[in-house]
Amino acid sequence: MNAPRIDTLPPGVVSLGDHEAHARSVLDASAWAYFAGGAADELSLTDNREAWNVLHLRPRVLRPLAGGHTRVSLLGRELAHPILLAPVAYQRMAHPDGELATACAAAAQQAGLVLSTQASLPLEQIADAVRDDPERGPLWFQLYLQHDKGFNLELLRRAEAAGYEALVLTVDAPCHGARDRERRAGFRLPPGVRAVNLDSLPPRLARPLAPGASGLFDDLLLDAPGWDDVAWLQAQTHLPIILKGILDPEDAREAARLQVGGLIVSNHGGRTLDTSLPTATALPSIVHAVGDSLPVLVDGGIRRGTDVLKAMALGASAVLVGRPYIFGLANAGALGVAHVIRLLRDELEIAMALCGCRTLQDIPPTLLVA
């Protein structure tokens, strides 16, 4: 598979909400539960979206707007716009071209891409498809630390050799959330879809449990990563390490003390701990905690260009989206993903113009009224 196929957009799809509605008719019940669902009662899934909605914009008028742009600097690179694609596993469940289609669409739209550890295509294949495109956005690799340190190092070296420019270490999921929707749907990976980059991971051997012991606390979580693992990872690579899943300012300050490359304010899209703080609510305190020492990105519930504008007003350096581009992928492959990115970017430009902001640097905190 060297290039993604050419699909067509479904008629009447003109927003990210339209993409989601149409994808529900395309994906089977199991895949829909996996991609669209959240943890437990899915309150965080809903709250992420509502937290952006309750922030109102107070626009300025008659401002100079000619020559405006959406460019932003991030980790030493100038990006055409601040929209990146968050890591999402098993994308071949949504479309046969999976992560290849996503990567090509991201490159075509100059969006950053974060490839999941649990991608359903090899990390080298994805990097080879887009690495040499001079117009593409950043290419990052998301890392879940596994129980085998030797395997973690092997995976890191593969990402470095393939040309990934940063590591995104997910730190908010030492275990899975209670995903009721997936259980109700009887979720199973379909034949032929697996986390191919984990094929050489040695099996994890369960520890014998004493009577009354917990299989979670006394076995699985003995391998959960800690701050010392972040320091170990830093010592193994020249790549910047971005911590994904930060909601508490003290965690942000500890990350700054370790001089990581950046932070992503995230509650895992509401897929792990239900009733956790919405990311739009958490973002200002994280930005305040680290000041100018680290770039702070945010994901969770972003569905409109106005949401991107609000995130920048709250101090974010950039944003990531996950489910929306997966719905675009399900609807029309690479074209659907590209359409989602383009819609967000166009809506961001419109919102900037209507709020009197010529550039992202011109967005003041006073633009927002809660």
Residue 296: closest CA among 232, 253, 351: 253
Residue 48: closest CA among 236, 313, 322: 322
Neighbours of 217 (CB within 10 A): 11
- Dist CA 291 CA 122 (whole Å): 37
Helix (H) or strand (E) holding 343: helix 323-354
Q: Which amino acid is at 63?
A: R
Question: Two tokens at 314?
Answer: 């709250």
Is residue 268 flagged as an active site residue?
Answer: yes
- Dist CA 5 CA 43 (whole Å): 37
- Dist CA 19 CA 30 (whole Å): 18
List of residues 6+ apart from 142 with CB closer than 8 A: 87, 114, 115, 116, 117, 167, 168, 169, 170, 244
Question: Two tokens at 260?
Answer: 């990581």
Residue 59: closest CA among 346, 313, 345: 313
DSSP letter at 14 equals -
Helix (H) or strand (E) holding 74: strand 72-74
Catalytic pick among 22, 95, 268, 339: 268
Cβ-contact 321, 83 below 8 angstroms: yes
Cβ-contact 7, 338 below 8 angstroms: no
Cα-flanking dihedrals φ and ψ of residue 321, to 5°? -125, 150
Task: Catalogue the active-site residues.
Answer: 268
